[in-house]
C-alpha cells in the first residue's frame, strides 16, 4: 500500500518545503536593497535550495555543524526586462545577495507561456490564418508555445521570445496532436505579450482522424488479463528517515529540484559494517530534443526540457497500481508558481522493490546439484509530463552493488500535417495526412562520484585484437587495454562498440587485495550520435551532445551541461566553455558527465500514444568488492535444490 514519508530532522540536502518557499518569497518581495526592489509584473521563475558545498556536507556528516540553510531565487522582472538572481538566508530571514542581469533569459514560466498562447489565439492575424483553413470556432484552437531558440536574426536577439504553433481540439478531451495546423508560426514577446509576427507558409489540410487513446475510445478492451499482485506481508524491505533511504546494504538521500527533478545524494554501501561512499550527487544535468524537419513549422523545435522548461516543475503525481506496483512509499515535492507561492506535487517520487529474475546461478550438470539466488532491486522513480512527451526517470539499486539509470520515454508524438499523397521526407506517416517528425532525445547526467573518497581518476578501457604472429598463432587472441585520462580535453570521449569501450572511475589511493585501485565501471547502454550539423544552432547550444563522456574537476557552480541559462542562448556555454581550460583530472575530485541519446524514427505503432522506449547506463563495481557481494543472499523459499 502507499505511504508518505515521516518527517525527521532536516538534512542539509533536503529540498525546501512549502513553508520555506513561502517565507523566501515574502523575504524577496520585501527587499528594497537595490534601490527599488521588484516592480509590479515580476514573476518568480524558481525558488530552490541553495545546496551547501560538498565540503560543508561532508563536515556535517562527520559530526560537524549543519551548513547554513539558504535558498537561490531566480526572478523575471518583466518591466525592467532583467533577470534577478537572489540568495536568501533562511537562518537570518534576509536577502544576502542580489544581482540584476540583462545578458541571460531564465527558463520559461508556465503562466507566461499560457498568457502568450491566449494572446496568439485572440490575435486577428492569427484568426485570419485559421479562417483560411476553415477554422472559425477559435475555442477549438489549442496554441502550443515553444521557447524560441536562437537562430541569429537581429530582430530576434535580446528579447524574451517564444514561437507558437497551433492544433485543433474538436471536443474537450480530444488529443490535439492528431490535428496539427501546419504552416502557421507566431513570434511573441513574452515580456510584453505582444504578437510580433504571424507567419503563414501556406495551407495544408488539417488531419481529420482522431488520435484519442482513452479507455472508452479503445473499447472493446481485452478481457484476458489475469490479476497480478505484488505483496510483501511483512512490509517493504526499505526504511525512510525523512528523505534518507536505507535498503539492505544501500543508503541514499533522495533529493529534488525544480530544474533537475529527482536527485540521488550521498549514495553509499555498507560493506561488512564499513559504510563506503560511492557517489555524492547524481542528477539530470540537461536534456534536449532536436527535430530533423527543416520546415518552417518545425525547424526551431529543439526543446531543452531541463534549462528551458524544468523537469521538476513538470513532475506528475504518481498513482499506485498505475505508475508503481507493490509495497510503495512516496516522497512529495514542492515547487513554486510565478507569484512565489508553493505548489505541492504529491507522490512525486515512488520507492518500491522489484523482483528482477535470477541474480546468480550454477547447476552441476553431472548430478543436478547447485545454487540459485533471485535478484531484487530498489526502484526510485519519478515522471515528468513536458508538452507532448512523458519522461520517467528510474534509478535502480541492485544487491550486487550495481547502479542503473533508465529513462522511460512515452507520451504522444510531435506532429505536423502533410498534403494528401505526400510522403514526408523527414518523418513518418502515422495516420492519414499526419506526419510524426524524426527526432532525437539527448540526456546528460552529472555524476559526482566519490569512490571511497573524493580523490578519484578516470580510466578508459577498451579491447583490441592482436595481429597474426608469434603472439597470436591461432588468430584468437584479444586483450583489454587501459589508459588514464589526464585532462579535460583528453576526457572528451565517445562510445565505440567495435572496441567495447567503457570507463572506470577509480580511487588510486585505495587498492583492493589483488593490488588494483577500487572503482566503478561506467557501461554505456544503447545510444546514438547527433545528426544536426556541427554549426547548427542546436549543436552550438547543446555542445554536450558532441561527446558521450566529459570529465571535469568538481566545482560547485558547474551544474548544468548547457550552462545555467540555455533559454535563447547563442551557445557555447556549459561543458564546452568549462573544459576549454583543459584542467587536470587525474587524482582530483572529479565529476563525470555522461550523455546518451535515443534516436526516434516514428512508427505507426507509436500512434496515438507511444509505448515506452528506454535508454540509460550502468555503473558496475570493479574491484570495489573483494568478490561477489551478493553471496550472502539467502536461497529462495522454500529452500530446495533445482
- DSSP, residue by residue, 548-577: SEEEEE--TT---TT-S--TT--S--SHHH
Instruction: Exactly one of 14, 77, 305, 564 is catalytic; name it.
Output: 305
Q: Which tens digit of pLDDT belongs to each residue from 55-66?
A: 999 999 999 999
Are 103 and 303 contacting, i.e. CB atoms less than 8 angstroms apart? no
Query: Which residues does 321 contact at the CB level (< 8 Å), separation at least 6?
Result: none
Domains 8-101 and 110-218 in one fold? yes
pLDDT band, very low/low/confident/very high, at 2 (cuts 50, 70, 90): very low
- Across 282-293, b (16+ Cβ under 10 Å) vs e yields bbbbbbbbbbbb
For the residues 175-188, what does the mean pLDDT come to?
Answer: 97
Q: Which tens digit of pLDDT belongs to each residue from 599-630?
A: 999 999 999 999 999 999 999 999 999 999 99
Are 440 and 600 contacting, i.e. CB atoms less than 8 angstroms apart? yes
Beta-carbon count within 10 A of 392 CB: 20
For the residues 400-428, what does the mean pLDDT come to?
Answer: 97
Q: How far apart are CA 174 and CA 210, in angstroms?
A: 8
Q: Is the pLDDT of residue 238 over 90?
A: yes
Beta bridge partners of residue 95, listed in sequence order:
88
Distance of CA 151 to the CA centre of its chain: 25
Q: Is the pLDDT of residue 638 over 60?
A: no
Q: Which tens digit of pLDDT belongs to each residue from 152-180?
A: 877 787 889 999 999 999 999 999 999 99
User: The domain 238-622: what is its CATH number?
Assistant: 2.70.98.20
State the pLDDT at residue 270.
98
Q: How far apart are CA 13 and CA 49, in angstroms?
A: 8
State the pLDDT at residue 38.
82
User: The domain 8-101: what is its CATH number?
Assistant: 3.10.450.40
Among the ranges 33-42, 106-115, 575-584, which has the highest mean pLDDT value? 575-584
* Cα distances (Å, whole numbers) of residue 212 to 110, 137, 418: 25, 20, 20
Beta bridge partners of residue 331, listed in sequence order:
349
Peptide bond preceding 220: is omega within 30 degrees of 0, i.e. cis? yes
Q: Which tens digit of pLDDT belongs to each residue from 304-336?
A: 999 999 999 999 999 888 899 999 999 999 999
- State the Cα angle at 141 between 105 and 430, rounded to 5°: 90
Could you tell me the pTM of the whole model? 0.96
Peptide bond preceding 101: is omega within 30 degrees of 0, i.e. cis? no
For the residues 360-368, what does the mean pLDDT come to?
Answer: 93
Q: Element (H or E) spanning 127, and its range?
A: helix 124-131
For the residues 12-27, what does the mean pLDDT come to?
Answer: 97
Q: Is the pLDDT of residue 592 over 90?
A: yes
- State the Cα angle at 261 between 211 and 598, rounded to 5°: 55
Q: Is the pLDDT of residue 34 over 80?
A: no
Output the average pLDDT for the chain: 95
Q: How far apart are CA 511 and CA 14, in angstroms?
A: 33
Instruction: Exactly one of 389, 396, 565, 594 is catalytic; name it.
Output: 389
Q: Is the pLDDT of residue 5 over 50?
A: no
Beta-carbon count within 10 A of 294 CB: 9
Q: Which tens digit of pLDDT belongs to each residue from 484-520?
A: 999 999 999 999 999 999 999 999 999 999 999 999 9
Q: Domain ranges in the chain? A: 8-101, 110-218, 238-622
Q: Are strands 389-398 and 370-386 parallel, antiparallel or unpaired?
A: antiparallel
227 vs 407, residue with greater confidence: 407
pLDDT band, very low/low/confident/very high, at 7 (cuts 50, 70, 90): very low
For the residues 190-217, what does the mean pLDDT come to?
Answer: 96
Could you say which of 3.40.50.150, 3.10.450.40, 3.40.30.10, 2.130.10.10 is the CATH number of the domain covering 110-218?
3.10.450.40
**Strand ranges inside 29-151, DSSP E:** 43-49, 70-77, 82-89, 94-101, 141-147
Q: Is 540 helix (H, G, I), strand (E, B) or coil?
A: helix
Told to judge if 330 belongs to the known catalytic residues of this protein, a careful annotator would answer no
Beta bridge partners of residue 324, listed in sequence order:
320
Listed range (35-39, 44-48, 240-244, 544-548) with the worst mean pLDDT: 35-39
Q: Is the pLDDT of residue 298 over 90?
A: yes
State the pLDDT at residue 119.
97
421: left (phi over 0), alpha (psi -120 to 50) or beta: left
Q: Element (H or E) spanning 256, and its range?
A: strand 250-257
Q: Is the pLDDT of residue 8 over 70?
A: no
Query: Which residues does 200 contact at the CB level (< 8 Å), separation at least 6?
Result: 129, 132, 183, 184
Told to judge if 396 belongs to the known catalytic residues of this protein, a careful annotator would answer no
State the pLDDT at residue 9.
56
Q: Is the pLDDT of residue 639 over 50?
A: no
**Which cell numbers hold the place of 137?**
470556432
Q: Is the pLDDT of residue 1 over 70?
A: no
Amino acid at each position: 500500500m502507499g505511504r508518505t514519508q515521516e518527517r525527521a530532522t532536516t538534512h542539509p540536502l533536503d529540498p525546501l518545503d512549502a513553508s520555506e518557499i513561502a517565507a523566501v518569497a515574502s523575504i524577496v518581495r520585501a527587499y528594497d536593497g537595490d534601490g527599488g526592489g521588484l516592480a509590479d509584473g515580476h514573476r518568480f521563475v524558481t525558488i530552490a535550495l541553495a545546496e551547501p558545498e560538498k565540503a560543508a556536507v561532508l563536515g556535517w556528516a562527520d559530526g560537524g555543524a549543519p551548513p547554513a540553510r539558504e535558498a537561490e531565487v531566480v526572478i523575471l522582472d518583466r518591466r525592467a526586462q532583467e533577470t534577478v538572481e537572489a540568495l536568501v538566508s533562511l537562518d537570518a530571514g534576509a536577502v544576502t545577495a542580489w544581482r540584476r542581469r540583462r545578458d541571460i533569459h531564465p527558463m520559461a514560466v508556465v503562466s507566461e507561456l499560457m498568457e502568450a498562447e491566449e494572446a496568439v489565439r485572440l490575435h486577428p492575424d492569427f484568426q485570419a490564418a485559421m479562417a483560411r483553413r476553415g477554422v472559425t470556432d477559435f475555442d477549438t484552437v489549442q496554441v502550443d508555445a515553444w521557447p524560441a531558440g536562437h537562430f541569429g536574426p537581429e530582430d530576434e536577439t535580446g528579447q524574451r521570445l517564444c514561437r507558437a504553433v497551433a492544433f485543433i481540439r474538436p471536443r474537450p478531451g480530444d488529443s490535439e496532436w492528431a490535428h496539427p495546423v501546419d504552416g502557421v508560426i507566431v513570434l511573441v514577446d513574452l515580456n510584453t505579450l505582444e504578437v510580433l509576427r504571424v507567419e503563414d507558409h501556406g495551407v495544408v489540410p488539417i488531419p481529420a482522424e482522431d488520435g484519442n487513446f482513452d479507455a472508452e475510445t479503445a473499447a472493446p478492451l481485452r478481457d484476458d488479463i489475469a490479476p497480478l499482485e505484488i505483496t510483501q506481508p511483512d512490509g517493504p524491505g526499505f526504511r525512510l528517515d525523512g528523505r534518507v533511504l536505507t535498503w539492505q546494504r544501500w543508503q541514499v538521500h533522495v533529493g529534488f529540484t525544480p530544474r533537475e527533478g529527482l536527485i540521488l545524494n550521498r549514495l553509499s554501501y555498507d560493506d561488512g559494517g564499513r559504510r563506503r561512499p560511492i557517489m555524492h550527487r547524481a542528477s539530470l544535468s540537461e536534456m534536449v530534443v532536436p527535430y530533423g524537419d527543416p520546415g518552417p513549422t518545425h525547424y526551431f523545435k529543439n526543446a531543452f526540457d531541463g534549462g528551458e522548461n524544468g523537469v521538476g516543475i513538470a513532475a506528475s503525481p504518481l498513482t499506485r497500481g498505475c505508475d508503481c506496483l507493490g509495497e510503495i512509499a512516496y516522497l512529495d515535492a514542492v515547487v513554486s508558481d510565478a507569484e512565489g507561492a508553493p505548489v505541492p506535487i504529491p507522490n512525486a517520487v515512488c520507492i518500491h522493490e522489484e523482483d528482477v529474475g535470477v541474480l546468480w546461478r550454477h547447476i552441476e550438470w553431472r548430478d543436478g546439484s547447485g545454487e540459485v539466488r533471485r535478484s531484487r532491486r530498489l526502484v526510485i522513480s519519478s515522471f515528468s509530463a513536458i508538452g507532448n512527451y512523458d519522461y520517467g526517470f528510474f534509478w535502480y539499486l541492485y544487491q550486487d552493488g550495481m547502479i542503473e539509470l533508465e529513462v522511460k520515454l512515452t507520451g504522444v508524438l510531435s506532429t505536423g500535417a502533410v498534403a494528401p499523397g505526400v510522403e514526408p521526407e523527414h518523418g513518418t506517416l502515422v495516420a492519414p495526412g499526419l506526419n510524426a517528425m524524426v527526432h532525437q532525445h539527448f540526456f546528460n547526467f552529472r555524476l559526482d562520484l566519490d569512490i571511497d573518497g573524493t580523490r578519484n581518476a578516470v580510466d578508459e578501457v577498451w579491447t583490441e585484437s592482436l595481429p597474426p604472429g608469434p603472439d597470436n598463432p591461432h588468430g584468437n587472441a584479444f586483450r583489454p587495454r587501459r589508459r588514464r585520462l589526464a585532462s579535460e580535453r583528453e576526457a572528451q570521449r565517445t562510445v565505440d562498440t567495435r572496441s567495447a569501450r567503457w570507463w572506470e572511475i577509480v580511487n588510486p589511493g585505495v587498492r583492493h587485495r589483488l593490488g588494483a585501485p577500487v572503482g566503478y565501471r561506467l557501461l554505456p547502454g544503447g545510444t546514438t550520435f547527433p545528426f544536426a550539423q556541427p554549426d547548427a544552432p542546436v549543436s552550438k547550444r547543446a555542445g554536450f551532445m558532441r561527446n558521450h563522456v566529459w570529465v571535469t574537476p568538481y566545482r560547485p557552480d558547474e551544474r548544468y551541461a548547457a550552462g545555467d541559462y540555455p533559454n535563447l542562448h547563442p551557445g557555447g556555454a556549459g561543458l564546452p566553455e568549462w573544459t576549454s581550460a583543459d584542467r587536470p583530472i587525474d587524482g582530483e575530485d572529479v565529476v563525470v558527465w555522461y550523455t546518451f541519446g535515443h534516436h526516434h524514427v516514428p512508427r505507426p505503432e507509436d500512434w496515438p500514444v507511444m509505448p515506452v522506449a528506454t535508454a540509460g547506463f550502468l555503473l558496475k563495481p570493479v574491484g570495489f568488492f573483494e568478490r561477489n557481494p551478493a553471496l550472502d543472499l539467502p536461497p529462495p523459499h522454500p529452500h530446495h535444490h533445482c
